Chains A and B, each alone.
Chain A
Amino acid sequence: MLEIKNLSIAYGKVQVIWDLSITVGSEAVGLFGPNGAGKTTLINCILGMIRPISGNIYFDGRDITGLETYQVVRLGIALVPQERELFPLMTVEENLKSGAAYIPHARNQLVDRMNFVFTIFPVLKERLSQKAGTMSGGEQRMLAVGRALMACPKLLILDEPSVGLQPSIVTEMFAKLKQIRMEGVSILLTEQNVKQGLKVIDRGYVIENGRIVIEDKSEKLAQEEHIKRAYLGV
């Protein structure tokens, strides 16, 4: 579905991603790595916010390298950005609608999409007229995911979905992601909380200094010595 080939990205003269290749099929894939490894940069590049210096990104067989962000989103990639993700002064309903309003194929099935989001996040249905900014952190994150789902994505990209949430909410959040995965939406997520992240994903990559150092199935990743020492603290 998503195929990244030999991607290199630089900010000015500083190269941050080195000849990186990953694929995401019909599955959930994790990108792990410390701060500054290049995870967010990679995601911004997939969404067309940064231009790579070399390499290509393919989505459903189509070369999307260099497309504008809104064009990428209309092809079926939705993003839940890190931290800043909602329109706080708009209501829950408006936030959800704005997720579908500018994607032609999603707009035509607005009601269906809303119902789909409510089956996954029933709490949103009770809060429709509440201002998004007045909800708790966990609810806001769920709304952000719901908003992204309104766009009818084939691939949902989440940048650090657990950041800033209390542990019990993190567990709930990842359970929801698993449910979304079951509904047939592919997932690509970056995560520093490797322990929780491993429970959701089928396959994962570990990025360090802009290069992939490990790639494996999630159960095997949990056994890796490097990961145990550096990320799991066991």
Chain B
Amino acid sequence: MKTLSIIAVLALAIILPFIADIYLIHVVSTIMIFMCLALSWDMMLRTGQLSFGTAGFFGLGAYAAIIAVDDFNVNPVMSIFVGAVFAALTSFGLGIAVLKLREMYFAITTLALTSVFTVLARNLSDLTGGAAGKILFNAIFDGDPKKTYWLILSFTIVVIVLSEIFERTRVKYAISSIRNDELVAKSSGINIFKYLLIVFVITSAIQGAAGAIYAQQYAFVEPDSTFSANFLLLPIAMALVGGIYSTIGPIVGALVLGFTSEYLKLLMPYGHLIIYGIIIVLTVIFLRKGVYGTIMEKIRSK
């Protein structure tokens, strides 16, 4: 039953470009990018560390990919790996320092890192194009929305599989025990720092790759919009609405909020963000475990 529904959803996702119009393809592509960010944020949260660096590594990946194509003639598809690797290396270096911090201090520091990246992007004009940013001649796949969609879909599948690996292997005990109680985790023989660093690097690489794809899709980077707080706040909202500490939660959250926001935009071009905000507030207050968590609880108690 479960396998069947997964295959059905997957099949639908693959053939979607043949049955849907360009508008829907585009909306789903964007939702999947945010889904990956929401998942990566949740994967870090599972270790108990609240990261606000999502937008920062997203932007780093975006810049790395655009610069790779523009200045080094890298193939746009390959530039996504460049973005991921660049974000991973940066997070490895920073993680060694930052992951000694906990709770609020970790959260604020990761938020500050995003600002530092933005300032660097704006001021290293020779490399990044300064405040004006950088524009490529052509978007990835010459702007073909179907091919872009399949690229994003494959990336999303990779991220979902990664998240499930985290949930099903020994890594799960390590990260959830670090979240539960670091003292106990330590005395169970867990190298806490090593696991935090692994998770931090992997999630940053995901964010970097997501940024790279997003930037290649629109063929430009610009400090304020590339490092926009949207790439931090929307993924967090999606994970919270769907339900944290799981793979399905952020997926459900991204779909619910993604489609709701599109629908609201059509319904009321001005002021849709107010309704959107109210929905987030209400779900967080009344559905503490998120949409998915609450539904599962209802099913189980019956």
Inter-chain contact B187/A69, CB cutoff 8 Å: yes
Q: Which of B180, B183, B187, B189 contacts A88 (CB 8 A)?
A: B180
The answer, yes or no, to whether A9 is at the interface (CB within 8 Å) is no
The answer, yes or no, to whether A97 is at the interface (CB within 8 Å) is yes
A70 to B187, CA, bound (A): 6
Cβ contacts under 8 Å, A70 to chain B? 186, 189-192
Inter-chain contact A84/B183, CB cutoff 8 Å: yes
Q: Which of A49, A84, A88, A98 contacts B188 (CB 8 A)?
A: A98
The answer, yes or no, to whether A113 is at the interface (CB within 8 Å) is no
Q: Size class of A's contact patch?
A: 20 to 34
Inter-chain contact B173/A98, CB cutoff 8 Å: yes
Inter-chain contact A101/B170, CB cutoff 8 Å: yes
Inter-chain contact A103/B189, CB cutoff 8 Å: yes
A84 to B184, CA, bound (A): 8
The majority secondary structure among interface residues of chain B is: helix
A78 to B184, CA, bound (A): 10
Cβ contacts under 8 Å, B192 to chain A? 70
Inter-chain contact B181/A102, CB cutoff 8 Å: no
- Please report the total number of B residues contacting A with Cβ < 8 Å: 16
The answer, yes or no, to whether B246 is at the interface (CB within 8 Å) is no
Inter-chain contact B187/A98, CB cutoff 8 Å: no
The answer, yes or no, to whether A47 is at the interface (CB within 8 Å) is yes
A147 closest partner in B (C-beta):
B188
Cβ contacts under 8 Å, B191 to chain A? 68, 70, 102
Inter-chain contact A85/B176, CB cutoff 8 Å: no
Q: Which of B177, B186, B189 contacts A87 (CB 8 A)?
A: B177
Q: Which of B170, B174, B183, B188 has the most CB of A within 10 A?
A: B188
Flag A76-95 by CB within 8 Å of B: 1 or 0 each.
Answer: 00110100111111100010
Cβ contacts under 8 Å, B177 to chain A? 87, 98
Q: Which of A79, A81, A89 contacts B180 (CB 8 A)?
A: A89
B173 closest partner in A (C-beta):
A98
A97-B173, A101-B170 in contact; A73/B188 too (CB < 8 A)? yes
A151 closest partner in B (C-beta):
B189
The answer, yes or no, to whether A99 is at the interface (CB within 8 Å) is yes
Could you show 10 A-B contacts with beta carbons less than 8 Å apart? A49-B186, A68-B191, A69-B186, A81-B184, A87-B177, A101-B174, A101-B188, A102-B188, A102-B189, A102-B190
Beyond A73-B189, A101-B170: 20 further Cβ-contacts under 8 Å?
Answer: A47-B186, A69-B186, A73-B188, A74-B189, A78-B187, A81-B183, A84-B183, A87-B184, A97-B173, A98-B173, A98-B177, A99-B188, A102-B174, A102-B188, A102-B189, A103-B188, A147-B188, A148-B187, A151-B188, A151-B189
